[in-house]
Amino acid sequence: MYSALVLAIAAGCASALTLQKRAVDFYAPTAGGGSELDNAGDGYGEPLNIIISGLSSPAVLTDDGFMNFAHALGYSEECLDLHAGGAQSANLGDGNGWVDQLIEIREDYGSTAVGTCLESLVGGNHFRVWRQNGSLADSGALFLAVSKEEDVFESHTIVPDGYDIGRNLLAQAAVGTTSYGGVTYSTTARNVTGLIAPGSDGVNHGIAQDGIVTVLTVEIVS
């Protein structure tokens, strides 16, 4: 009887530690009253143009796991001292309403320690991240607002066509095999339309985007 109890406790611990694989890629934010545009705080928004699928390996969808994946693509947490942009919020239609970004991540130019400071100076690719985990649409997917920026002397404005360019650069860096910190990833991409209308309606800086959202499915292979 004692050993049965120990076994039951051991089984309970094991299941608590095992991350469950999710059941869907993502839910369309608009289906739950949300938006595929974030809120930049100036009456406009930036497109959530990359989705990390809920069907990715569960560890990739955690805060630490996603940061490791970002490092594998050459991105790091931003250089705090040179941070020029304010926090933005997004409503992913999951019942959580408008919530601030989890984190803002920049190209690190090969140095996870100081590279993002360089990015802040010279411009480059960057993105903000939100997690779709409210009880109305709990996919676990991560939604990214990606854009390519001018340097800090241009007050971090987006380059012309910077949303589509930023999305494509990040997707190109991700697809195929990447690795960091002893973790190897295999990533596939597919494009989805219908989540956001093409054009510049409501889009920050009046920069048109093509209405394509790229869905990345990231598998940890070793």
Instruction: Summarize as ranges the residues that interact with ligand NAG (CB under 6 A).
Output: 102, 131, 133, 168, 189-191, 212, 214
Q: Which of 81, 147, 86, 87 is nearest to 117 (CA)?
A: 81
Measured from the CB atom, is 57 or 120 closer to ligand NAG? 57
DSSP at 5: H
Hey, how many other C-beta atoms are within 10 angstroms of the C-beta on 209? 24
Shortest Cβ 37–ligand NAG spacing (Å): 18
What are the residues whose beta carbons fall under 8 Å from the beta carbon of 27, sequence distance 6 or more?
92, 93, 94, 132, 137, 139, 141
Measured from the CB atom, is 61 or 118 closer to ligand NAG? 61
Measured from the CB atom, is 66 or 120 closer to ligand NAG? 66
Shortest Cβ 201–ligand NAG spacing (Å): 19
Shortest Cβ 98–ligand NAG spacing (Å): 13
H and E: helices and strands count for the chain: 4, 10
Measured from the CB atom, is 46 or 164 closer to ligand NAG? 164
Shortest Cβ 30–ligand NAG spacing (Å): 20
The H or E element containing residue 169 is helix 162-174
